[in-house]
């Protein structure tokens, strides 16, 4: 019960700190002091207090989409091992539900964006849909391989790769972490795929889809996307932290991993420019190659000898 409570608190609080850490890291590299770690949380509170403004051309879908999208992210988070090292729902083939629930949420945010009738939001929706189409197969190739390797079909399987993979263990962990990290950059709309701080509507992907959202709706959307990024960070943390640590060490290690990954994201954002839209696909295919390499190694491990 206590563990469940800790997990839930971690799920709700850490995403803000994660975004705060990324911002702080970027500020550090830019030679600035940067905003406080809690600023994303204050922003969220400010948005929640505000009234939402709706365009006359929108229908109920537009109002429904932010809430629904947030709900799906929360639902998906139930399947991911969090601070305690355990998922709240430990169900076989949870990763399939995880992926498709997130997909459903994304579908609603896409049609919510299309609902405004704005040409920008249509463009953003088509970009986001396009990238997700490529991410999905890579995710299943990756997770399918891990399931085949460990014979465990919950996300807990990420923790026991080393035991099952023998000499290739570290290589598989490295490739999986790399693939998940790029997936995080794409799903979290970070540089070099998308620029979360830009004001240039023609270059945005995720931001342009929520241009018309305001107030509490916008607050929910930003919290939702922070949680979504956090879930991918949690997956990478689960992959790297050994499963046989005692509870308190593994929770500390989890917190450490979240901050470490956030710092890496901030550093990546500070050190490279955003890719040209046509080159982003090449970048996404690198991720698919990572997933395919994992598949190859796993196949070799199972059938090779």
Closest CB to other proteins among residues 22, 142: 22
How many whole angstroms separate alpha carbon 156 and alpha carbon 234?
A: 11
Burial class (CB in 10 A: 0-12, 13-18, 19+), 241: buried
Note the residue count of the chain.
305
Closest CB to other proteins among residues 29, 285: 29
286 forms part of the interface with other proteins (CB under 8 A): no
CB of 185 to other proteins, least distance (A): 12
Q: Can you state the angle between helices 169-187 and 247-271, rounded to 10 degrees?
A: 60
User: CA nearest 278: which of 161, 104, 66, 130?
Assistant: 130
Could you write out the DSSP letters of every residue in 253-282? HHHHHHHHHHHHHHHHHHHSPPPPHHHHHH
271 forms part of the interface with other proteins (CB under 8 A): yes
Q: C-alpha distances in angstroms, 64 versus 45, 54, 75, 105? A: 20, 12, 16, 11
Closest CB to other proteins among residues 278, 305: 278
From 49-57, 70-78, 192-200, 213-221, span contacting other proteins (CB under 8 A)? 192-200
Closest CB to other proteins among residues 31, 304: 31
Query: Considering CB under 8 A, how many residues would be counted as binding other proteins?
Result: 31
Closest CB to other proteins among residues 64, 120: 120
199 forms part of the interface with other proteins (CB under 8 A): yes
In the region spanning residues 57 to 96, those forming contacts with other proteins, defined by CB under 8 A, are: none
195 forms part of the interface with other proteins (CB under 8 A): yes
CB of 259 to other proteins, least distance (A): 20
- Provide the greatest CA pair distance for the chain: 65
Contact with other proteins (CB under 8 A) among 20, 40, 94, 192: 192
Token pair for 53: 């403004």
Binding residues for other proteins, per CB under 8 A?
A: 26, 29-32, 119-120, 122-123, 126, 191-192, 195, 197-203, 269-279
């Amino acid at each position: 019960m206590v563990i469940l409570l800790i997990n839930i608190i971690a799920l709700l609080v850490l995403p803000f700190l994660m975004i705060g850490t990324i911002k702080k890291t970027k500020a550090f590299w830019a030679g600035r002091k940067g905003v406080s770690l809690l600023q994303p949380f204050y922003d969220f509170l400010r948005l929640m207090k505000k009234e939402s403004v709706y365009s006359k051309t929108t229908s109920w879908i537009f109002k429904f989409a932010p809430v629904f999208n947030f709900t799906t992210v929360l639902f998906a988070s139930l399947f991911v091992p969090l601070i305690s090292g355990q998922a709240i729902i430990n169900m076989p083939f949870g990763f399939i539900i995880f992926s498709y629930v997130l997909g459903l949420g994304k579908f609603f945010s896409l049609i919510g964006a299309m609902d405004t009738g704005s040409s920008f939001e249509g463009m953003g929706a088509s970009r986001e849909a396009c990238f997700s189409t490529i991410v999905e197969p890579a995710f299943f190739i990756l997770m399918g391989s891990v399931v085949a390797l460990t014979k465990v079909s919950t996300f807990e399987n990420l923790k026991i790769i080393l035991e099952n993979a023998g000499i290739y263990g570290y290589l598989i962990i490295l490739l999986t972490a790399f693939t998940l990290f790029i997936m995080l950059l794409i799903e979290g709309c970070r540089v070099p795929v998308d620029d979360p701080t830009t004001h240039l509507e023609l270059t945005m992907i995720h931001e342009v889809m929520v241009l018309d959202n305001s107030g509490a709706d916008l607050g929910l959307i930003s919290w939702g996307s922070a949680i979504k990024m956090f879930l991918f960070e949690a997956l990478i943390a689960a992959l790297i932290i050994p499963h046989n640590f005692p509870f308190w060490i593994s929770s500390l290690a989890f917190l450490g991993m979240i901050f470490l990954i956030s710092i890496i994201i901030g550093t990546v954002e500070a050190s490279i420019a955003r890719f040209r839209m046509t080159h982003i696909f090449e970048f996404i295919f690198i991720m698919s190659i990572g997933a395919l390499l994992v598949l190859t190694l796993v196949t070799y491990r199972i059938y090779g000898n």
